[in-house]
Amino acid sequence: MIIDIRNVSWARENKTILQNINWSVREGEHWCLLGLNGSGKTTLLNMINGYIWPSEGTMSVLGKTFGEFDLRELRKSIGWVSTSLQQMLYGSETALNIVLSGKFATIGLYDATDAEDRDKAEALMRSLGCSALIGRVYDTLSQGERQRVLIARALMASPKLLILDEPCTGLDVFAREQLLQMIAMVAKQRQAPTIVYVTHHVEEILPCFTNSLLIKDGQVFAASETKEVLTSAMMSDFLGVSVEMNRRSDRSWLSVKGALWS
């Protein structure tokens, strides 16, 4: 089991932010985590990465039960791409050094690297279409280029779990499609990590995402095969407004039917 969350709740300042979450991710699955602003997605990810602990319930990640394992060790097996990570990185580093730092799951590059590490980093950058960026200073990259560098960084430690938290935020339609193509390619590779992809937008749900978790007001609204979740009825119920789901290019596209305000 990659992720096994049982009856987990998390409360802060007398407010229950996650309530009775049950979620299992098995090997061979790739999940999309979908929810509106403030629904609890980031909180759930912070828990999976061991930055916060459940107030109630039990959970294990990559077979390690929380409370019985050194989380810093576990984090090396989890690749994480998020805006908060992007803000923490040292922007004056080269793209290559940013990728290399992924081997140690550190923000800067403090440990020595060898030729094999550099070969691996360069190969990853090539496969993600960013070999031309190797010597470039990270701060000078476009948002689409940064995201590809960060995915290469996340893959540097050959993680078993890859968490992509809203990677398409701030991308134009071309950069978004390019990034989605790269993610589909990563998912197809032999020994690909299990991917958890977080988004607000259903059209980003690629065919490789076999399962989807809908989260609403800190609770699981649905957790099932993606094709069962992405129906007009389910999404209308989830969003609380009448929507129509259409399939195009092997993806689902959502249009709002009812009036959002009067």
Ligand X SMILES: Nc1ncnc2c1ncn2[C@@H]1O[C@H](COP(=O)(O)OP(=O)(O)OP(=O)(O)O)[C@@H](O)[C@H]1O
**Among 13, 27, 68, 70, contact with ligand X (rule: CB under 6 A):** 13
Task: Please choose, from the candidates 34, 37, 38, 31, the residue with its C-alpha nearest in 3D space to the C-alpha of residue 15.
Answer: 38
Q: Which one of the spans 10-18, 69-77, 114-122, 168-176 is the region binding ligand X (CB under 6 A)?
A: 10-18
**Among 2, 3, 5, 17, contact with ligand X (rule: CB under 6 A):** 17
Q: For residues 40 and 102, which CB has a smaller minimum distance to ligand X in the complex?
A: 40
201 binds ligand X (CB under 6 A): no
Question: Are the beta carbons of 67 and 245 closer than 8 angstroms?
Answer: no
Q: Which one of the spans 21-29, 41-49, 123-131, 136-144 is the region binding ligand X (CB under 6 A)?
A: 41-49
Sequential DSSP letters for 212-247: EEEEETTEEEEEEEHHHHSSHHHHHHHHTS-EEEEE
**Among 40, 50, 79, 193, contact with ligand X (rule: CB under 6 A):** 40
Consecutive H or E run containing 117 = helix 115-127
∠ CA 113-62-68 to the nearest 5 degrees?
Answer: 95
Q: How far is the CB of 74 from ligand X (least distance, A)?
A: 21
Residues 6+ away with beta carbon under 8 Å from 16: 9, 10, 218
**Among 35, 54, 79, 159, contact with ligand X (rule: CB under 6 A):** 35
Sequential DSSP letters for 172-185: -HHHHHHHHHHHHH
- The residue whose Cβ lies closest to ligand X is 42
167 binds ligand X (CB under 6 A): no
**Among 25, 31, 41, 150, contact with ligand X (rule: CB under 6 A):** 41
**Among 22, 24, 26, 38, contact with ligand X (rule: CB under 6 A):** 38
Residues 6+ away with beta carbon under 8 Å from 252: 202, 203, 205, 230, 245, 246
Question: Are the beta carbons of 16 and 218 closer than 8 angstroms?
Answer: yes
87 binds ligand X (CB under 6 A): no
What are 225's strand-pairing partners? 211
Q: Which one of the spans 37-45, 126-134, 168-176, 203-211 is the region binding ligand X (CB under 6 A)?
A: 37-45
Distance from C-alpha of 102 to C-alpha of 249, rounded to nearest angstrom = 33
Q: For residues 42 and 210, which CB has a smaller minimum distance to ligand X in the complex?
A: 42
Q: Which one of the spans 40-48, 63-71, 105-113, 175-183 is the region binding ligand X (CB under 6 A)?
A: 40-48
Distance from C-alpha of 227 to C-alpha of 34, rounded to nearest angstrom = 14
Question: Are the beta carbons of 145 and 130 closer than 8 angstroms?
Answer: yes
Q: How far is the CB of 12 from ligand X (least distance, A)?
A: 4
102 binds ligand X (CB under 6 A): no
14 binds ligand X (CB under 6 A): no
Q: For residues 3 and 155, which CB has a smaller minimum distance to ligand X in the complex?
A: 3
User: Residue 72 CB: number of other CB atoms within 10 A?
Assistant: 9
39 binds ligand X (CB under 6 A): yes
Residues that bind ligand X (CB under 6 A): 12-13, 17, 35, 37-43
